[in-house]
Amino acid sequence: MNENNGLQLIAPRIKPVLDPDFRPAVLANRHYRAQAKQNGGIPVRIALEQADGSVFHFVSEVFPETHPLAAGNFIYVERIVKFMLWSRGGFRVYFDGPRAIGEQLQKYFHEAPTGKFDADIMGNRIYERPFEVVITKNVPAERASTTPLGRHLNGNRIGFDLGGSDRKTAAVIDGKVVFSEEVVWDPYMQPDPQYHLDGIIDSLKKAAAHLPRVDAIGGSAAGVYVNNRVKVASLFRGVTKDLFEQRVKNMFLDIKKQWNNVPFEIVNDGEVTALAGAMSLNQNSVLGIAMGTSQAGGYVTPEGNITSWLNELAFMPVDYNPNAARDEWSGDYGCGVQYFSQQAVGKLIPASGLEVDAKLGLPEKLKAVQKAMEQNDVRALKIYQTIGTYLGYAVVHYADFYDCKNVLILGRVTSGRGGDVIIEGAKEVLKAEFPELAGSIAFHVPDEHDKRHGQAIAAASLPKI
């Protein structure tokens, strides 16, 4: 596979052992930009606007319309816009460049199934505004609001984390965990939100029993949360749209009321992962990548702040091969969830030759691969090596959009010996293909104490008393 709708694709120097058709987004983008610059590139500006007035820019160049390689202009711009939508977020896209490309973008988000998915999530679900692409020379100035990180450890606090297979809760007094609990649950396809509410309340009550009083509650969960309101969350995937509006959207505001309106904050679990990493490492410029049921991400700026960015790595394209695996939710190809999650492991099992019952769920398939890894099965080793190669190219791709010096890797996919293989594979890619970055991007793995308590402490530290 050497092209995608006119966009030249570059084969990696280090090929994923189980996926020879992998075509890294970073290589295609860098090759395209270099070629466009050498051939009279036309400047383009892309800006995304959020409901609070934040505006984020991306500047690049495209080929002149008369150049033979101009056929790749649209797919290059569309993939960049896709990445920006899920990294920054926005309901309005401003495009300053060749009008034909802008009109193609308008049509894509209005008619293409994958474009309509992004437009609906961004416009209707997250920002509650009509999604639009505006072709203009008058792009608004860049501006952004950032929020100081949590790190508020004073007082008696509850921290919780809602995952796809378990929910964790901790009672924290002045930064010290005095109680923690992990409870198995199955929230994904539950149609009645009372199931979710009862589980969360039960965990909070158990933690509160170990505190003299509750001064603040902080939590994390997969999904998009704005001002403690649930916008998009896979935890509630089984809930109908009407019930979501009635019972889920304001669920955490209702919980706050039940707890006497103490300071309360819930944010995306990836953000808390990055926060926990920054607190543990005592460093900033942290990009957190959690490989679990899905792929979660979070970002701490060089100044030590979290932002209004979405950082939904699961939906960001990392492979430009148009025949790459497709995300089951958005229907788009080459998105991170298929490369850095249990879904990635499941995808790679057939190519590895490892004999795993296809009827098993993804968590059970992961356990089977981990067991084979413990037994030094080379087929399991190839799965982790492949994910490691993916990670090396993806991290450099992320670094084109994030100022990240520290990459925190965690999640069940990285447990055991496989996690070491993944990180070694990523480092190998940086040394071979991006030597200029090999010494400036550091990989970190949380220790067992941080795994058990770091997320809960970071979540508990979110609200300011």
- What are the sequence ranges of the domains in the chain? 39-144, 147-271, 281-456
Nearest residue to 314 (alpha-carbon basis) of 338, 332, 347, 345: 338
Tell me whether domains 147-271 and 281-456 share a fold: yes
Q: What is the pLDDT of residue 164?
A: 80
Give dist(CA 203, CA 47) in Å, integer. 42
Cβ neighbours of 406 (radius 10 Å)? 19
The answer to whether residues 94 and 45 touch, using CB atoms and an 8 Å cutoff, is: yes
The answer to whether residues 46 and 84 touch, using CB atoms and an 8 Å cutoff, is: yes
Q: What is the pLDDT of residue 189?
A: 86
The answer to whether residues 255 and 200 touch, using CB atoms and an 8 Å cutoff, is: yes
pTM: 0.90
Cβ neighbours of 209 (radius 10 Å)? 9
CA distances from 159 to 162, 170, 360 (A): 10, 5, 33
Q: What is the pLDDT of residue 150?
A: 81
Give dist(CA 11, CA 22) in Å, integer. 7
Give domain 147-271's CATH superfamily. ATPase, nucleotide binding domain (3.30.420.40)
Q: What is the pLDDT of residue 169?
A: 93
SS3 category, 180? strand
Nearest residue to 341 (alpha-carbon basis) of 270, 424, 398: 270
Give dist(CA 294, CA 108) in Å, integer. 26
Question: How would you write the pLDDT of the chain (465 residues) with one tens digit per residue?
Answer: 689 999 999 999 999 999 999 999 999 999 999 999 999 999 999 999 998 899 999 999 999 999 999 999 999 999 999 999 999 999 999 999 999 999 999 999 999 999 999 999 999 999 999 999 999 999 999 998 666 668 899 999 999 999 888 899 999 999 999 999 999 999 988 999 999 999 999 999 999 999 999 999 999 988 889 889 999 888 998 999 999 999 999 999 999 999 999 999 999 888 888 888 888 888 999 999 989 888 989 999 998 887 878 999 999 999 999 999 999 889 999 999 999 999 999 999 999 999 999 999 999 999 999 999 999 999 999 999 999 999 999 999 999 999 999 999 988 899 899 999 999 999 999 999 999 999 999 999 887 666 666 777 889 999 998
Provide the 8-state DSSP code for 295: E
Q: What is the pLDDT of residue 149?
A: 64
Name the CATH topology of 281-456.
Nucleotidyltransferase; domain 5 (3.30.420)
Q: Report the helix count and the strand count for the chain, using DSSP H and E.
A: 15, 19
